[in-house]
Amino acid sequence: MRASGSELEVNLVDFAARLLGVQETAPRARLITQAVLDQFPDTTTTVYLLDRDEDGDFWSVAASVGEGVEPDATVSGDAGTLGTLLQEQVTVVFEGHTLVRENYAHLNVRRTVKSLACVPLLHGEVLVGALEILSFDAPLNLKHLDSLRPMTELSSAALVSSRSYEQERSGSLNSITRLTQFYDIEKVFSSTLEMEELLPIIGSKIREMLNCEAVNVWLLEPDESVRLMHQAGLDETVQEQCQQRPGEGIAGDVSDSGEALLIDRTDDRVVRRNRRLAEGGIVSLIAAPLLDQGALVGVLEAVNKLDGTACDEDDLFTLSRLAESASIALHNASLLAAERKVEVLEALVNVSHEITSTLDLDRVLQAVVNGPASVIPYERAAIALEEGRRMKLRAISGTLEINPDDPKIVDLNRMLEWASLLQEPILVNQHGDEISTDREATRTKFQSYFSESGMRAMHVIPLGDEEGRVGVLSFESSNPDFLSVAHLEMIKVLANQATVALRNASLYKEVPFIGVLQPLMEKKRKFLALEKHSRTLLVASACAAVLFLALFPLPLRVEGPAAVAPAREALVGADIEGIVKQVNVKEGDRVQKGTIIGTMEDWDYRSALAAAEAKRDIANELMNRALATNDGSEAGIQKAQADYWTAEVARAKERLDRTLVRSPIDGVVATPHVENMVGKKLKFGESFAQIVDNSEALVDLTIDQTDISLVAAGQRVRVKLDGFPERTFQGQVVVVSPLGRLEAERRNFYARVAVQNPDGILRAGMQGLGKVSTGWHPAGKVFFRQPVIWIWSKLWSWFGW
């Protein structure tokens, strides 16, 4: 042992560099022990780290260098010499002759201890470890040991740093491990879509990851309770298939709140569950809801950790994350179950359609026993009908003809005769030697039947209605569990529909007019015999035709004979009696309103006008003269005379103007040889000429009385005249005649149509055809209106509805 100096010399820089060269605690502890051994040769040095657990403080060996000593891996915190150091936290030296074996019982020493020293490793004021130095040759010097303080301070800081590093690394590795476990569990959960297989996988994998005694998987029921569908491990406080509602237990409360739960044995709900057991029970429990897009699916419970520790928040977090993965897997499994239900319903619809689309008894029987095979895994289905108060086997799946002498057929027929006496359906299956029935006679019957037929399950459904028994339907399989709940529901519905179909088929031949119905049924059968795409094409075509006739709009036009009438005409007559003096127009001339077309003899009217004007002038002159002489009386008399003759002059001019014959409208002279009227004496009002206005022609359209309800004023009309076959004239209904006319035993009405005729090419008397646009109507009404009206009229005339 080195004793040359009063103090030890330690190269702290080199020592610190070596410590920084490694990051883990164990290598740093070995460097520390080696540095101490360099200062105290022929000794054994051990580095202890101080830790704490539920039982208190303890020392753990980080490194040990030297011969002759094997320290225990862990030492209680208050044991022996290390306990003294824990209390005093200063360097202590024990002489060998004062030590008893119990003080260093943690050391397996094969040599005599001369001296034992414990040096504290302090990080600040916190004790993090200790150096234990055993000397077998010479005593240890406390002063030399105190010289190790700079090195121990560096060592303490290095050990604290390395332990922090290892804890951080361990946390990262744990996180990576946990993520890997989550990923692996998600893959395992997604490995199957079968609910019966998925529930055990979820329970076992969560139990394995949480290292707990049991995991309970509760699923939500339609009545909002939760049912224990699977239990992985052993939890005697609950049994599978038990139910809980909110307020009745832990799973029920979690399903109501939707929040994860961490409780121990002191919780009232745990106490109630533990009462069922004399010993054991729940010590610690965590529960998490199974949520699918915010909707509750079920609840997961994890009970009692296997290492005896209590569940903590980390376990609750892990269970919550696992619940998310389990919810996704359960959702996918539920989608598969829903899809299978859809397949079952589709098969049921197909079978129902098949058995209700025919009245042929044989076809109905074959459809009932063969149709469900696409979704129900049975090996044989059979149906027997009541004939003469006995049951007779009529159809077997996969068989067109039945051999009544076949022993298997005989046994099956006997079983169906027995089953016809039942009031309710029965499902009997055999697992091993156990047959699922309570009655001994039934057990014996099925045991014999199963042994001879090779089947292990038989589901029998009596078929009956209000009128009595119809028959018996059965399904068999060598798999005792071949029917699920969905299959049983489908069979129940199928049995009801089969009963109705069989009853209808049995009454088919008793229906009156069966000879009339048979061809229709034959056509229906031929239609159903077509390939699916052909039937689909025909149905689609029929539907398209119906939709076209019912919804597609087409213009509805009412037509009838058309005749052109002049829109306006005027008879020009004489306003005075006299002789025609002059005619200014001839037939066909176009005249404007007010045009003078002729004059009457006017010399009498001119003479009267001249006389009146002369007397008016004389009166005015006399009046002016009287005024010049200031003779007021005379002036007044002459003024009255002047006014009178002024009025006479106006009347004479008016009479003279009446000798001029003017056109009252714009139009064309229609009177033939009107120029020959010169010299002819006309009486007052006698016709002189006829003026016709053809700028707007009126067309009279003949409408049948069956169509008159569709015609109204304002509707557009197209007219085609015989004189202009290449042109179509547009018009508008002006008025519809309120009275009809009887023509050739037909009652007709007239619609007067105004047609523009700016060129004057339409002439009164032209004939043709007109069509009135009455609006847009469904194509069916446009095409079949007339036949429907005729048929309806005939039916009404026959029956008088």
List pLDDT tens digits, range 70-83. 888 888 888 888 88
Domain boundaries, the chain: 12-169, 190-339, 359-520, 569-690, 694-799
pLDDT band at residue 2 using 50, 70 and 90 as cut-offs = very low
**What confidence score (pLDDT) does residue 49 get?**
92
pLDDT for residue 48: 92
Which of 511-549 are b and which e, b meaning 16 or more Cβ less than 10 Å from the residue's Cβ?
eeeeeeeeeeeeeeeeeeeeeeeeeeeeeeeeeeeeeeb
Task: Kindly report the average pLDDT of the chain as a whole number.
Answer: 81
State the pLDDT at residue 519. 66
- DSSP-assigned letter for residue 98: G
Angle among Cα 532, 538, 541 to the nearest 5 degrees reads 135
**pLDDT at 517 exceeding the cut of 60:** no
Spell out the residues 6+ positions from residue 733 whose beta carbon is closer than 8 angstroms to its own.
711, 712, 713, 714, 715, 717, 751, 752, 753, 772
Task: Give the mean pLDDT of 637-657.
Answer: 82
Of 347, 337, 384, the C-alpha closest to 490 is: 347
Give me the percent of the chain exceeding a pLDDT of 70: 93
Where does 334-480 show beta strands of DSSP type E?
380-387, 390-396, 426-431, 434-435, 457-465, 468-477
Predicted confidence (pLDDT) per residue in 90-143, tens digit: 888 888 888 888 888 888 887 788 888 999 998 888 899 999 998 888 888 888
Examine the pLDDT at 4 and tell me if it is beyond 50.
Answer: no
Average pLDDT for 357-381: 82
For 399, which DSSP code? B
Question: Residues 513, 744: contact at Cβ < 8 Å?
Answer: no
Provide the phi-psi class of 388: left if phi over 0, else alpha when psi is between -120 and 50, else beta: left
Strand 426-431 and strand 681-682: pairing?
A: unpaired
In the predicted model, is pLDDT for residue 183 greater than 70? no
What is the distance in angstroms between the CA of the first residue and the CA of the last residue of the chain?
136
Q: What is the pLDDT of residues 268-299, one digit of tens each?
A: 888 888 887 877 788 889 899 988 877 888 89
Which homologous superfamily does the CATH classification assign to the domain defined by 694-799? Efflux pump adaptor protein, beta barrel domain (2.40.30.170)
- Asked if the 12-169 domain carries CATH number 3.30.450.40, the reply is yes
Residue 10 pLDDT: 58
* Residue 428 pLDDT greater than 70, yes or no: yes
- Alpha-carbon distance of 361 to 129, in angstroms, equals 95
Least-confidence region, from 173-187, 284-298, 301-315:
173-187
Sorted by sequence, the CB contacts under 8 Å of residue 550 that are 6+ apart come out as 778, 779, 780
Confidence at 509, pLDDT banded by 50, 70, 90: low
- Judged against a pLDDT cut of 50, whether residue 7 lies above it is answered with no
* 190-339 and 359-520 agree in CATH topology: yes
DSSP 675: G
What 3-state DSSP class applies to 187? helix
What letter represents residue 479's amino acid? N
- Write the burial class of residue 241 (CB in 10 Å: 0-12 exposed, 13-18 middle, 19+ buried): exposed
Mean pLDDT of 625-633: 81
Mean pLDDT of the 741-764 span: 76
Q: Is the pLDDT of residue 572 over 70?
A: yes
Superfamily of domain 359-520 in CATH is GAF domain (3.30.450.40)
Q: What is the DSSP letter of 162?
A: H
Confirm whether pTM is higher than 0.85.
no
CATH code assigned to 190-339: 3.30.450.40
1 pLDDT higher than 50: no
* Structure-token pair, residue 744: 């050739």
pLDDT digits (tens, 9 = 90+) for 449-506: 888 888 889 999 888 887 778 888 999 998 888 887 778 888 888 888 888 888 777 7
Contact indicator for 477, 457 with CB cutoff of 8 Å: yes
